[in-house]
Amino acid sequence: MKLSLLFASALAVAGCSSSPEAACHVGADCASGICRSDGTCAPVQGTDSGEPDTSTPSDGSSPTDSGKSDAPIKGCVPNNDGTITAAEAPLQPGLHAKYRYATNVTFSTAGQAQNDGSRIWDMTGALGGDQDVVVDTNSLTNAWYASSFATASYTTLLTPSSNLLGVFRFGGNELAIQGVVSPSQQGQFTNVNYNPEAIAIQFPLSMNATWSSTSTVQGTASGVPVYYFENYQSKVDAHGKAKTPFGTFDVLRIATVLTRTVGAVVTITRTYGFFAECATQVATIVSQPNEPSAEFTNTSLVERLAP
């Protein structure tokens, strides 16, 4: 069970559109930045009239603050202050977005260094075997596994190569994974729990922020009882611009090293998640197993936001 897209669970992209109930495909089609799973835009929480707040300055900063504040922003407008708070990460059920992905391709995680210390990661080009996948965040209401995860916020696809769902909790300034499940309980189903839950993201995000967690993972995976351990070590280690087929984003890069121990077998996987204000996870790069270098070119997955 490969949790390649541990962070790929925040799927709203800030942008502009027409009426609150307009049809949409991704968050960028909506003034609120939120495209619901039924294909309609969530209303903007703006003025008393219910209309979008159009007083946002052209530099993208908050219209109510001459400085760069981390307070919740109406409609989630990026203020590009180098810090991403939980309020700038629209994580909830009912969102969807399209990602373009390729597996087992050559791509440099190092990006292109800039004079100011930032980097540019250009992911706009075609990669061998590119495919598109629409990823949703789903409520646990009436799900067969709901009783196993009483405090969970939503589920979402973990990797495009599998139908397994990650069960996530968002709250208390953190995004945590509580388990992994299969969509159905039929046949060789999966239902594993993390104890304690694994911390995927800890807010606020800023350069050099770190967090870690160690979990016992147990339950049933593809019909087989499992029991193993996972340790996550995460750090915001770089910043710059991520160029995706959808657009270019100011990002913080989250480097995560996952160490999985199953009996005497230890497997290490490196994941880079590219996180943007209000757009959340816009790209993901995953290493091959036991990659020795922090920066690498031999990937198991490259995934980026697509129109």
Q: For 122-158, how does the pLDDT look when each residue is reduced to its tens digit (9 = 90+)?
A: 999 999 999 999 999 999 999 999 999 999 999 999 9
Indicate the Cα dihedral angle 101, 105, 108, 111, nearest 10°.
Answer: -20
Counting the structural domains of the chain, the total is 1
For residue 102, give its domain range: 1-307
Instruction: Please indicate, yes or no, whether the overall pTM of this predicted structure exceeds 0.85.
Output: no
Strands (E), 140-292: 154-157, 165-171, 174-181, 191-202, 210-221, 224-243, 248-262, 265-276, 280-287
pLDDT tens-digit series, residues 265-297: 999 999 999 999 998 999 999 999 999 999 999
Report the sign of the C-alpha dihedral through residues 220, 228, 172, 86, in that order. Answer: negative
Residue 109 CA, chain-centre distance (Å), reads 17
